[in-house]
A = this chain, B = another copy of it.
């Protein structure tokens, strides 16, 4: 501890002119950007390069030396070269012994190599204290200072002291270091900047596919059918009417799909009588993208809400309304208030509003900062209890809205059901199975299984 704190004192002396010297191997774009930034923040920077002639691209205040000379000047050496050239470091192994060697490399593809670049570097330089850092920041962001995005620098390494030294530099550059543990985390850190919403891919493609299907289904029934049989040109339905049919259907189906895997998992566990068998792969993956499915469902529900609210402003709706009123006026009569109709209309609106309200509540708790500030019990309460309340309200909303048309033959154009009937299949299935699962005679064994009890302990060998 004694030498240690003496060391650390030396690293962070009192004023900026006393910042330590950092060596950067490689004068590529990122190496230069990092050097610029470090000089701005008061560090001395020495570049190690094959050709030691000073290029005008390199920051003015930096020196350029051979790799060996540069490495001797500093305790911290940043390797700003690509993995395929790491071999040239082997002869420098002795000079780099005991030094803090920072791997900042990124790959072009996920899991491009069997081991991470940082671990490969550690194998090449067994005596060096390798730290992975800075790969999650872009050169452009470093240089422009326009760090609107994440200022987080993921750092990992096996040597605590070396890691701390690198994290101090990260701090000094105005970034936020996040300690990710030992060098084993390097693979994940290197994959991190290559990802483009990996968890969203399946839910997004599923939604796009379903949306396209329902869109053309509605187009056929509402526009083409009307044009063919009733000779009405309702092509403008494409803009609002059809989207406003597809959105609620998508929202309800996706919301059902959020709760379906949980119900399936319960059935599988009850059937197997144990929780110690893994679920099939597809179910595991499905469960992991429930949050994304739910958020897409919420997006569709929001669009449905706005499309609905906007309807009184639509030219077509205003025309239809005034046509109805004028025909009444011309017939010299006033229709009395139909209380049943008023009840139906108000109930499905109220159910929809409440369902949407709870849906938004559940959505807000899935914001990272909110879900981090609740404990496991509270999170389950919101996501499970309030989620089922949402599902029940939204299903009821759809049932009340379209209930009267189930038995009407005019709802079956070309013998096809209206799409809101299709939308009810998944949520109703989930709700019925869930209703069965909360019966005590089913719930009790399920709870036991989830607490670790097994029906046939021997048979699971």
Contacts of A152 in B (CB 8 A): 372
CA distance A313 to B306 in the complex (A): 13
How many chain copies?
Answer: 3
Of the candidates B136, B236, B313, which one forms a contact with A312 in the assembled complex, judged by CB atoms under 8 Å apart?
A: B313
Chain B CB within 10 A, most for which of A119, A291, A343, A356:
A343
CA distance A457 to B42 in the complex (A): 27
Interface residues in A357-400 by Cβ distance below 8 A to B read 357, 361, 366-381, 383
Give the contacts of A22-63 with B (CB-CB under 8 A).
28-29, 32, 42, 56-57
The reply to whether the CB of A159 lies closer than 8 angstroms to some CB of chain B is yes
Interface status of A344 (Cβ within 8 A of chain B): yes
B148 to A9, Cβ gap below 8 A? no
Q: What residue in chain B is nearest A138 (Cβ atoms)? A: B376
Q: How far is the CB of A454 from chain B (nearest CB, A)?
A: 7
Please state if A16 and B181 are interface contacts (CB–CB under 8 Å).
Answer: no
Interface residue? A150 (CB, 8 A): yes
Question: CA A192 – CA B287 in complex, angstroms?
Answer: 26
Chain B, residue nearest A308 (CB): B313
User: Which B residue's beta carbon lies closest to that of A351?
Assistant: B239
Given A148-B291, A330-B329, A379-B149, the answer on whether A16 and B184 have CB atoms closer than 8 Å is yes
Q: How distant is the Cα of A236 from the Cα of B341 in the complex, in angstroms?
A: 10
CB-based contact B5/A342 at 8 Å:
no
Which of A164-172, A202-210, A217-225, A423-431 touches B? A164-172
- A87 is an interface residue with CB less than 8 A from chain B: no
Contact across chains for B302 and A372 when beta carbons are under 8 A apart: no
The CA-CA distance from A48 to B28 in the complex, in Å, is 54
Q: Within 8 Å CB of A96, what residues of B?
A: none
- Given the known interface contacts A357-B299, A376-B137, the answer about A181 and B172 at a Cβ–Cβ threshold of 8 Å is yes
Interface of A is mostly: helix
Task: Report the count of interface residues on A (CB-CB < 8 A).
Answer: 144
Asked if A231 lies at the interface with its beta carbon under 8 angstroms from chain B, I say no
In the complex, the answer to whether B150 meets A235 with C-beta atoms within 8 Å is no
Q: Is A284 an interface residue when CB atoms closer than 8 A count as contact?
A: yes
In the assembled complex, which residues on chain B have CB atoms less than 8 Å from the CB atom of A13? 114, 158
Pick out which of these stretches binds chain B: A67-75, A272-280, A434-442. Answer: A272-280
Interface residues of A, Cβ cutoff 8 Å to B: 1, 4-5, 8-9, 12-16, 18, 28-29, 32, 42, 56-57, 114-115, 119, 122-123, 136-141, 143-146, 148-150, 152, 158-161, 164, 168, 171-172, 179-185, 192-197, 233, 235-236, 239-241, 243, 275-278, 284, 287-288, 290-291, 299, 302-303, 305-316, 318-319, 321-330, 332, 334-335, 337-339, 341-347, 349-350, 353, 356-357, 361, 366-381, 383, 450-452, 454, 457-458, 460-461
In the complex, the 8 A-B pairs of residues with the closest C-beta atoms, listed nearest first: A171-B181, A369-B369, A315-B345, A239-B346, A29-B452, A149-B379, A12-B182, A368-B369
Question: What are 30 A-B contacts with C-beta separation under 8 Å?
Answer: A1-B461, A9-B159, A13-B158, A14-B115, A14-B122, A15-B184, A56-B461, A57-B276, A139-B452, A143-B275, A145-B288, A146-B290, A148-B290, A148-B291, A148-B379, A149-B371, A152-B372, A160-B164, A172-B185, A195-B375, A195-B377, A239-B343, A239-B347, A305-B306, A308-B310, A313-B345, A313-B349, A314-B345, A326-B328, A329-B330
| 5 more CB-based (< 8 A) A-B contacts, given A194-B377, A235-B339, A330-B332 | A8-B160, A145-B288, A168-B182, A313-B349, A322-B328
